[in-house]
Amino acid sequence: AGTRMKLLITGGSGFIGSALILDLLENSPHEVVNIDCLTYAVCPLSLDAAAGHPRYAFEAIDIRDRPAVARALDRHRPDRIVHLAAESHVDRSIADSDAFIQTNVVGTHHLLEAARDYYETLHGAARDAFRFHHVSTDEVYGSADAGGRFTEHTPLSPNSPYAASKAAADDLVRVWHGTYGLPTLTTASTNNYGPRQHPEKLIPRIIIDALAGRPIALYGDGRHVRDWMHVEDHVRALRRVTEHGRVGERYNIGALAPKTNLEIATLVCDALDTLVPNRGLGSYSGLITFVADRKNHDRRYALDPSRIMRELDWHPERGLEDGIRDTVQWYLNNARWINDALGLAGA
Ligand code: NAD
Ligand code: TDX
């Protein structure tokens, strides 16, 4: 880990990618090249702190453009590819799946093919060192039974267009290792939360709606369970796997902090009640309402992280209550980021 590497990160301008890049620039010797086409999901302010850093470079590249991806690999000659670029929102995928198939499936295929060509040009130590790290999600396994947790051997059984596109990408990566010998690593993590997450996702949406006095809309009965992980814990896991993971392996990154959506909404409202008292109108939790369910909504996600804990000495460190309070505080301090992410004037 002490040796300096060049990491080419796809989707580095998004929620998890920006957290990874800021961490690498601050806490590692590595060089970072970010290739991202800056979709609607990106707030340009997210990487303000990285701009101009001597170990950081950005290129506006769409992974749906295969020649552009190949040229970027030739030009930058990375030691690692860390692939995060994706369309990431389940509700959008249900409304219109096209971009999900194009970016998550076809874009991943382009990247694998470009990586295979690039890998062929490597020799000796550079060839031994090269890795392709694919970043995936717990959603590829589908819904978990009460009490059960998915391991790396659980068959993929996705239930949304988004999850199906990620599962297809996971399979492509596995096959490019098995068939062509590309040295791949795959990680699947549970739901992330933290600073710079797009307002379309549950926790930022609760914060922003509550502050605006709008209803906090929970789908169905609000009893769907997610295993919430602070993005900092995920970023530490990604670094462990990128640097030390075993080639060809899959690692599940679980937080071991399962909560229903109603429990999450209540925790966020408790944090808001303390930080921004609601002028005698009572708790923000009074805004919680139940609305029509998401189609084919997975009831419960849960991963078994024993492998990464045992082999790579990683474990989740951030407590949920504390992490949610910090996240609420971050959104309170970053109104400009929120307006910008929402595309509002005056950003
Ligand atoms: P995000 O939507 O915030 O960021 C995605 C990034 O990818 C954006 O910067 C976007 O501009 C970029 N991108 C999209 N299409 C692109 C294309 N065609 N070419 C180049 N760049 C493109 O998502 P996120 O939450 O940061 O998720 C990052 C990765 O982690 C995704 O692969 C997602 O599936 C996975 N993941 C996310 C979570 C979570 O809870 N957020 C959990 C597990 C896994
Ligand atoms: O307004 C809402 N109301 C609501 O009840 C929203 C936006 C969500 N929900 C529910 C749906 C889910 O049960 O909250 C839960 C979390 O929803 P999302 O934030 O949309 O996340 P999820 O569908 O679980 O997927 C997330 O975790 C896995 C990320 O968006 C994915 O990119 C990641 O792969």
Range of the structural domain that residue 128 is part of: 6-198+229-256+302-318
* Alpha-carbon span 76 to 105, nearest angstrom: 24
Does the annotation count 162 as an active-site position?
yes
Find the CATH number of the domain harbouring 148: 3.40.50.720
Name the closest-CA residue to atom 5, ligand 2. Answer: 218
* Alpha-carbon span 198 to 201, nearest angstrom: 6
Is the pTM above the cut of 0.90? Answer: yes
The catalytic position among 62, 139, 227, 298 is 139
Position 148 in a domain: yes
* Alpha-carbon span 89 to 192, nearest angstrom: 13
Position 327 in a domain: no
Per DSSP (E only), the strands in the chain are 6-10, 31-36, 56-60, 80-83, 131-137, 184-189, 192-193, 216-219, 225-227, 229-230, 250-253, 258-260, 288-291
In the beta sheet, which residues pair with residue 303?
150
Complex ipTM over 0.95: yes
- Distance in Å, CA 290 to ligand 2 centroid: 15
Position 213 in a domain: no
Residue with tokens 């790579």: 312
Position 273 in a domain: no
* Alpha-carbon span 344 to 337, nearest angstrom: 10
Does the annotation count 141 as an active-site position?
no
pLDDT in tens, the chain (347 residues): 468 999 999 999 999 999 999 999 999 999 999 999 999 999 999 999 999 999 999 999 999 999 999 999 999 999 999 999 999 999 999 999 999 999 999 999 999 999 999 999 999 999 999 999 999 999 999 999 888 999 999 999 999 999 999 999 999 999 999 999 999 999 999 999 999 999 999 999 999 999 999 999 999 999 999 999 999 999 999 999 999 999 999 999 999 989 999 999 999 999 999 999 877 778 999 999 999 999 999 999 999 999 999 999 999 999 999 999 999 999 999 999 999 998 875 44
Position 135 in a domain: yes
Instruction: Please work out whether the CB of residue 225 comes within 6 Å of at least one atom of ligand 1.
Output: no
Does the annotation count 200 as an active-site position?
no
Position 153 in a domain: yes
Write down how long the chain is: 347
Binding-site residues, ligand 2, Cβ < 6 A: 88-90, 137, 139, 191, 201-202, 205, 217-219, 224, 226, 261, 294
Structural domain total, the chain: 1
Name the closest-CA residue to atom 32, ligand 1. Answer: 84
Position 337 in a domain: no
* Alpha-carbon span 262 to 245, nearest angstrom: 36
Position 139 in a domain: yes
